[in-house]
Structure 1
Amino acid sequence: MQRRAILRHLSTSLLAMPALLPSRPAHALRPVDVELVLAVDVSRSVDPEEQELQFRGYAAAFRDSRLVEGIRNGPLGAIAVSFFTWSDWNMQELLVPWMVIDGPSSAGRFSEALEAAPRRAHLYTSISGAIDYASDLFGQGYEGTRQVVDISGDGVNNSGRPLAQARADALRQGIVLNGLAVLDRTPPPPQFAALQPPLDDYYRDEVIGGPGAFLMVAEGFRAFDGAVRRKIIREIASHPGPGPLVERAFA
């Protein structure tokens, strides 16, 4: 009887002890070469035609065989991409949640999702709000060797918290901020033009940041298609070279 009691005591003690073997996380993150967030401006300065040019430009980029080849040539051969629109400080709409792109089929599905996404416009331009929203998207199912936010827009920050604060917080997280500034060929009213710097200078000095960050400048919305292709191909490169800080695309 005494021996059985001792054995029962030992069994109970062992069951109460924490497991000594290493455990796998319940939701392990899938490794990818890059986590890329595409953030697109839909403020009131972007008219319906210009908004459509942006959507079509991104959709066409992911059908480009050079882009797909660049993805497949990465160490892991896959990237994760999400797409949202932004305007006011509290207006961000995630239109395409995270998708893995690892070949022509998945790239085509991403393009189809963009083409089917709703087109909506709002008022103000909150680049700070876009950066904050994009920063919170990372780590949701994927773990990239690089985390990149691609911010496209045609105006300066005029809503939400100071841009410098949002930018600094993102850079502290190790996020790379790239810009795609669209130079609208319709000049703003003189009273506004005198109050703000040229948009390409503003994006270069106030928006982009992080290792290897760069700015693509589209000389008008008609140049957006070519600009976005060149930009994403450079962003997904497995070993980004020391390219120019500012590149320009013309229609």
Structure 2
Amino acid sequence: MTQPYVKHTIEKGIATIEFFHPAHNSLPGDILAKLANTITETGQNDEVLVLVVKSGGDRTFCAGASFKELISIENEQEGEKFFSGFANVINAMRKCPKFIIGRVQGKTVGGGVGLAAAMDYTMATKFSAIKLSELNLGIGPFVVGPAVQRKIGVSGMSQIAIDANSFYSPEWARDKGLFTKVFETTEELDEEVQALAEQLCGYNPEAVKEMKQMFWRGTENWDELLQERAKISGRLVLSSFTKEKLKRFK
């Protein structure tokens, strides 16, 4: 398929949510909104015991936010709304009372790293290098920063945020705690994702809900925090430095 989409299926307690955009899964605002809403609604479904979040395509999990929308921002309000897209998805995953398994089959950049970090258990393939490229544009990974830092610590977060030109290997991401396992093939990844999802379906839903809250303790202010971060990025994207950078990329 070449058209963007967010779709989901529910089978034997396992909800599989898939997003796709032909531009290397770089996500515009409408797709991010659909993804956030789908995660929220699916998480509230009593028939669902575990969520699997994945993307379409072979070698790119998510290339971040839509570049086309980024270059069209004309004021701080538009900027804040744009950068709120990933914030809303991260918060939807944070609040979901079910465990979320992340299935990362390829490279992930910027906001995509934030999505991978906000999953409760993320597995990947050997093709899943990561990069936080925002500083190259004069912005910085402000919105996804809390989720990434929560998973890999201040040291790991600062390393990839400052070295904004470099991809870091999936093995590096695994050693830092972003990925739990790295597989040779997508087929092996899918087998392990399915096996874990089936295992989680056998757990007490009440215990899972309590554990999820325990794991995310200390993030209760993220609705406000990520919105504040979106405002920072929305202001910086209008800077002369960033405008000049965007012209070159365009």
More helix by share: 2
TM-score interval, normalised by the smaller of the two chains: 0.3 to 0.5
TM-score (norm. length: structure 2) = 0.35
TM-score (norm. length: structure 1) = 0.34
* Largest Rg, 1 or 2: 1
